[in-house]
Each structure stands twice: as C-alpha cells, then as structure tokens.
Chains A and B, each alone.
Chain A
C-alpha cells in the first residue's frame, strides 16, 4: 500500500517500477535501508541475498534486526521485517553466498537492476563480473564512518568495479611475520595465523613457526639453526601445529612454552637475523612481567587498557580452553572461523599479538586497538547508511526511467568542503578504461613470474587471488592445450610441475576463463627471474585516459606520502569506500585521487 506515489512520479516511472525486478546483494546496514526504501517506493519484486547471520554489533545500524534476531539469517529476517510493513511485495530471501553456481549469468539476467550493499572486495568483484556478463546495471554502494559513495556500473557505458587498479592490499613478507616482526600489525597477523593453525582452516601459507628459508638467515647461521632443530621442540615443524596442540590437549603452558619460548630461542639461533636487529627475548610461563602488579585503575571500557604480559598469558590460557571446547563441540573435521566479534577469538589474538610484541620489543596495544587492526574495522553508523541507501534507490529510479546519464557517481563527505559541497558528484559518467582486464572487449593482462619455479598449483592461486576467479580453466592460445581445468582431477597430476616443465615459456599466452563469471582473459606470461611468486602486470596501471577537466575535487598534493600514524585499517561491513581525497589548497586543480578503502584480509607473501 503505497499512497500517493502514483501522482508524484510520472507515468513512465510508475510503470517501470511496477514491472521491475531488483536484486539486493547484502542485507547489512545499507542492504536493510535499501530494502525498506524499495518496499516503500512500491517496487513489487525484490530478491535479497546474504550469507551472514545477525550479530550484536549490527544492531547499531541494521534496523530491521532486533536483539531477539541475533544468530538468525540476515536475508530472511530482513525479508520478514519488510513484509510486516507491506505483505503484498514479493520478496525472495536467499541465505547464501552470491558466489555460487546457483547464481549464474542467467539468474542475474532476470533483474532490471542489481544493487550491491556488500562488505568485501571478493564478492564485489564477482557481482561486477556477473552484471557485466548479464549486461545488467549495477549500483555499487559503500560507507565508512560519516563518508559514503554511490556509483553506477553499466557495461560499455561506465567504468566497472575493476577498471581502476585498487590500492594494493597491504602485504607483509612471510619472513617478517614469522621471523622478524617490527610493528604491532606483524604480531597481529601472526596471531591470526596462529588461530587458524590451532583452531581454524589450516593454510600452509599461514605457518607461524620460524622460517628457515628466510634469505636473510641464509648462510652458516641458518645451517647451524637447522642442525640444532629437534633438541627442544622436537620435530614440531614437521607435524601439523594443530595435531601437536591437540596432542597436548591444548595445554596452555605447553603451547606458551613452545610458541613464546622454544620457537623464539630457535629464531635466536638464526644469528644472521640479529646482526642489525635487536634480538627477541624468549619468555618463561611462570615468570612473566606484570605478575605482581595490582590491577591498574583505568577509565573507559575495560578493553581500552593495555594488558600486562601476565594478563595476556592468563587471557591466552582462558581463550585457548574456550576455543578448544568450541572446536570439540563440532563435527569431526570442522574448524572455527576467526571473527573479530567472537569474544574468545578476539581475546586469543589480542593476547598472542601482545605477548609476541613484547618478545620483539614492539609496543603493545589494547584489545580495542587490536580489534580495529585485526578486523580491518571501519566505523559504521546508521546515518551514513541511510543517506547512501536513499541515494542508491533514487539512482535506481533514474536508471529505470532510462536517465542513465544522470546516475553519476556521488561521494558523501564527512564535512562540507571548501567548495561548499557535502556531496561531491562526478559531472558525467566515467567511461570504461579500455585497458581494463575485466570489462575491455578483449581483456588482457600480464603475469610476471619465474616460469622455472612457479608451479601449476601456484598459477591456479594467481588466477583465483590475482584475477578473482572462482574456478579457472586455462588453455594455451593457438594450441588449445589444456593447462588447467576446473573439473576436479583433470589436471591435478600436474599440480607440482613448474610452468616450464609443462612447456610454457616467456611470452606465451594463456586463455583463462571462468565459466561461472562468463569471463575470459588473455594472460601473457612474462619471465622474471627475480619474482618469487607472481605479480599481475596490468595496463590499467598506466595512467588513465586524460582526466576530464571538470573534476569535482582537488588533487591531493603530496598525498603519496604515507602519513605517520598507525597502519590504517581498511574496512568492515558495508565499507568499501572510494574516497576522493581533497586538499584544502584551492589553487591547484588536479583530478581527484581515488582511494578505495576496503575490507581485505592481509595477504602474506611467501619469501
């Protein structure tokens, strides 16, 4: 029952809305608002999809959910709440990941518009490709604190989500994480890896034990370290950390002694590492700093005080027990998933990160700060979500009326800029980047690697992580030779062969495609002896076509200079922001520098 709208909207729009079908991807802060706006505007057919369940920390903004809904499906509860307002709308809820064979190109084709209200880059990339393949307009949204943005993506008409290279995800060399941390974030990443090793999905790239292959440690010292292995910690390195921990029954003292005593002593034996670094100090369980402190007075939330090492060890022990119990209560072979809002998981990471920081003479941090850094948390509030969702649905109306040119990108700023703008709009749609390796007519990208050492398995990872494919198939261009098949088992026997061994050489091109995404890209292989893993070489890295004169914002002088301060976190729910950095200096007018702040788990490069 939507009164009056018929008179307010012109006939064309009223009819377009009545015949429309909309897909909302994500039922978080922005998704809830979009759903409500669509229902109250009279959109008759809506599908909403979200994999998540409701958490307490959602309630400060996701207004379709109340306390009693915690733990339930976001998509389902959002649907029920919206229907209670208007039972005549046809809403279909999917408690599911949008990245699934069930939602192929033909699924996307049935919608007039897809509206993204997502919280991570992987899903955004995927939906971007699905909408390009299905040629459906996509409205992208995001907020970060008081800031936000709405942008239209339409094949051939605008930039796609992947047209501009994203700010590189912060990566840390594996040896920095495992051997020579120097900043709090290194210890936090290590602690998250440790969580996965002990309780989560085991990932060989997330090893937490000393890395004897560290090139810096090479030489005699490394060799002597190797030969000394097996004295204190036994063959721990050869047994899975999980298995070893389980064998000790997750005994906190034993775990502590290995992780913060034996492993550190082992690192100390790699003497080359400490020639120009301050060596770490191994700890002993029953003699920890802060043991005799009286609990300090503090103001604010308890988790805003920095805990002593002794307190950390206690929290470590308690959280280990809790997580062990959680794991034990699950079916055989199941594992935990680290979640910043899960008390024990967050306690565990705080404790381990701080203990390790102490050992390496790195300043320790409060649980509150570590949560920001470990969870890539970006503030999220109801107001900015409401603003962005309102704009998104108004944009959807323009698109339905056929006024695509009016649906330019718009950025909400935390404060009015010197031009008097609270909202900074693009004057026109931004055309696609002809060199984009996703939406160009013939997508192409270079892959720099050492063909002599990169294995086929690693090549698969490059396609999945680098090119955001879900199930890549690859053939050699011109020969039709199948290098990689997404069919299980077909090419597995080659997994450990190097690219050279299977006959690929410098300059040869692979046709790589992903059936689900309906996406094919030509990948040129470039031999680089120095490259330890792989690296994408995109033409998109080259400067964009000449910037338009009428850019909304000023450039950012010297913005390339990293600012001092804690490592900036990236994002969280709803936050995948493209922020136009502005400078107060009015005299220089340069194209805006875009910066997408986003959710991304840190990627660890092996070295």
Chain B
C-alpha cells in the first residue's frame, strides 16, 4: 500500500535554541523580547554581566554607551574584554565579545558621554525598552532619571562596589497582564453558570450514565450536580463554610457507584471532584484590585495618549457594567481532568465559546474607544490576551529616582524609618550614596589611593547625607572603613550575581510578564543579607 510521503512539522533552529525559555514566557514573550532594545550605560563587569544574560535569550538589540578606554583593571574583572582590548573603547570591545554569544542580536556602541547625549540629543533615548546604567555621577543620575521619567522609558540604575550592590528600578507606570500567579484559581462559574453552560450541566443526568462511562464524567459536572442536590435542602444558598463543603463531599460520595458486594468503585474522577470542593466552589467575584483599576482616573478619563492597557481597562469596565452583569469575562481555560474526550471537549468548547463572545464584546468596545480618541489601534490578539487575565492585572506606579537626590519630605522620612530597624540594610544605601557623593567631589572612588585619609572624607559625606534626612551619625565607622577598603573595585561574583538579578528584572519588564521588583533591591555579600524597598 502506498502511503503519502511522510513529513513531520519542522522545528526551526530558533525554537530549538530557545526551547527552555519559551516554556517560561511563551512565543509572545519571546517576540516581545526580540522586539526589545536595551541600552546599557558603562560596560564595566556589572554591565557586561547584565547584557550577557539578555543577549543569550535573544533580545532584539543592544546599545552600549561608554566613552571609557579599556584599562588593565577592566580586563581583570570583566569576562567580556580581552588582553588585546587594552587601550580601545570599552563599549565597542565588550559589545563585540557579547554579540558572539548570539548572532541574532543586533548591537551598537556609542562613544559619547551620556551627559552630552542628554544635552545634544535627548530624543536618542526614546527608542529603548529599558535603559540600564551603573557608575554614573550624581549629576547624571538625576538628569537621566528625570529625562527617562518624562519620556516614560523604564530605567534601572545599579551599583556594585566591593561586597555591596543594589539596583533601583524606575517605572513611571508598568502594567503586567500576565503575572503568572503560582496558585491560579479556576474560573468555572458553577455558582453563576452562563446560559450554554447551565443548559449543558442541567441536561446531564449522572444516574443515567452507564457504568463504563461513569468513570469518565468530568468532575465539574459531578460537583455541579452535588451542589444542586444540596440546594434542595438549602434553597438560595451556596456552600461556603467548612461544614457545608463537607456536606457536598458526602453527596459526591453518594454518587460513587458500588460493585455487586456493595463496595464503592474507586473512580479517579470522583476523587478529583472531592479534592476540588475547596477551590472550585469559590463564588465568582470581582476582585477589589480590579475594581480599583477600572475605576481609577486613568481608566475613566481617557485621552489620545492613553495606553492600550487603560483603554482595555475602560472597555472592561463597560463590559462589567453591562453584558458581564458585574463579572469579569469568562477565561475559557479548563484544567486537565479525568474525562472522556467527548465530555472534555464539549465542556472546553462551552467555556471557550463564552470566552470568545465576552472577548469580542470587549474588543468592540476597545475599537469604539480607539475610534473616538483617534489613537493607535489595538490588536484583537492583545485584547484576547487581556481578557484571559483580567482576574490578575497588576500595575506598578513608581517614583522618579531624581527625587531621592532632592530628599524631599516623604523620601527622607522613608529612609530614616528604615535606618532605625535592626539589621538595617538601608545603611548600605547610604554608604553607596555617600561613595557616589565622594566620587563627585573627588573624582575618584573612596579608598582608591589613600584608604586612611579617605575614611574621614567619606565619613563627611555620610554625615551630610544623614543630616539631610535628619538622622544622627552612625555609631560606628566599620562600614565606612569597609567601603574605603573596596577602593571602588567590583568583586566579580557580586557583579555576576547582581547582573543576573538586573537582567532578570529587565526581561520581566520587556516581556511584560511576571511582577518586577518594586523598586529597590540591596545585597550585602559580607552578611549575605538582601532586602527590597519601595521608594
């Protein structure tokens, strides 16, 4: 018998190379990454470690801004510089070696100082998905963070000195649609079934099912029937308490068939139904945090510059107030379960069909809004994705880094409050800021030349910062001594560690999946402590 020439769908090279990460953020996450453009300012060890972990998974392109010349010290601490790099531009050399990791990534090196770009060509920063910088002067940090805040480009500022390191993420507004919660609630609507679901569930007669099919009834149907039976004696109510849920379990037990000897037949689907009682019978509700989002002024007062997220939130509000009858759109995702293919597919189709209907309504509302505002259109795929995740939308509204340098009211008191805690990690923030101040005043790192004399100078910087936030000086100087001993040098493992952390957060931001750190992370390699703060 002749069979047609066999063909297997080809897996392309790229999906092979990225297989392990596609399982984390999916094709659309990968696409977002490949459209991403990361800007790094200063290709020191920390900077190249960050870019390494962003180039490997295949970011679209990378721009390195660095006017420095490669020194011996750079070569010793930076894996992405060679002995032959000495005397050449650091950014171009690092870029060349970094791009060898992944030929798919585009790269550019810019040899001008960032201050000059800010002054002469501020538009330059508009095209980036994230700007990442380290070893900047106090002045540049303030100017750059303010500019990036104004043009709404995410910014990550990081520092790695000796055993100390930190990163600070500046996000004016960052919406995460896919947060990937660890324990996702199923959206089954058993308490408020939509018409097609109600019709199907009501038309199903468990008792009429033949024995050989009994083990293939999806647990969703079993639970629904159990609740219906329970409601005969408990009209107009829903099993909420532990006692009531136990009553449901007893009813499910009664459904289990017995063999000729009266022994219950062990059926996996009924076991699943019993296990699902706790989670699957939660009443359908509109989470408070989603209410807050859709009624926030960004969603109620749209304008031409409103982001797609707010337009979709506004459309969602319209849906909830009208067609949705107070509820979120149906998610349309069914968990795996023991069931015959027909039952499973039937149920899946019912949920999916309703999800499609709901998403279409919201998409039409989005289109109306877009037409009214004359703003850029939003794709149906984006709206569908949004609709699948409306139960766990997440929004970060951040603060500008420049305000930390002006030490206005709330920032100062925030820092002061955390300085009073035992095991304070905030001390390290002060130290790193003081070292930065030292560098601005003396044009070198504390301890770089004369560790002893620098201790007093660094102490002056610390004292000034502390007095600015109305705090008393540190009782001991050991941290200051330590900072001077570092002489501004990076410890490779600390930079490698922090580089991994910064790259991980940058990828979360670019793919718009998972919740990034909001907004500061500090690591002390000497005590191995870490902390996060929200400035």
Contact = CB atoms under 8 A, between A and B. Distances in A.
Contacts of A63: 52, 56, 101
B53 to A, nearest CB: 4
Interface residues of A, number: 103
Interface string B474-518: 000000000001110101111111111101100100000011011
A56 B13 contact: yes
Interface stretch (B17-25, B36-44, B231-239): B17-25
A165 interface: no
Contacts of B265: 276
B3 A252 contact: yes
A567 B338 CA distance: 12
B80 to A, nearest CB: 9
B53 A382 contact: yes
Contacts of A494: none
Interface string A31-49: 0010011001100000000
Contact of B7 (A57, A318, A398): A318
Interface residues of B, number: 100
Interface stretch (B70-78, B88-96, B286-294): B70-78
B493 A393 contact: yes
A361 B340 contact: yes
Contacts of A182: 215, 268, 338
B528 interface: yes
B515 A415 contact: yes
A414 B514 CA distance: 8
Interface stretch (A221-229, A296-304, A485-493): A296-304
Interface in A392-450: 393-395, 397-398, 406-408, 410, 414-416, 420-423, 425
A394 B268 CA distance: 48
14 contacts: A4-B487, A60-B56, A146-B504, A182-B268, A277-B212, A278-B340, A302-B9, A377-B19, A381-B57, A383-B507, A422-B517, A422-B532, A565-B335, A572-B20
Given A382-B503, A383-B500, A406 B528 contact: yes
A562 interface: yes
Nearest to B340: A361
Interface of A: 1-5, 7-9, 33, 36-37, 40-41, 56-57, 59-61, 63, 66-67, 85, 145-146, 182-184, 252-253, 274-279, 285-286, 300-305, 307, 314-315, 317-319, 321, 341, 343, 347, 361-363, 367, 371-372, 377-391, 393-395, 397-398, 406-408, 410, 414-416, 420-423, 425, 558, 561-567, 572-573, 581-582
A253 B3 contact: yes
B258 to A, nearest CB: 11
A276 B9 contact: no
Interface in B1-17: 1, 3-4, 6-13, 15-17
Contacts of A407: 528
B214 interface: yes
Contact of B6 (A315, A341, A372, A377): A315
Contact of A303 (B11, B18, B76, B280): B11
A184 B341 CA distance: 11
A37 B498 CA distance: 13
A386 B10 contact: no
B175 to A, nearest CB: 15
B279 interface: yes
Contacts of A278: 212-213, 216, 340
A115 to B, nearest CB: 12
A379 B21 contact: yes
A415 B211 contact: no
Given A319-B8, A386-B49, A301 B15 contact: yes
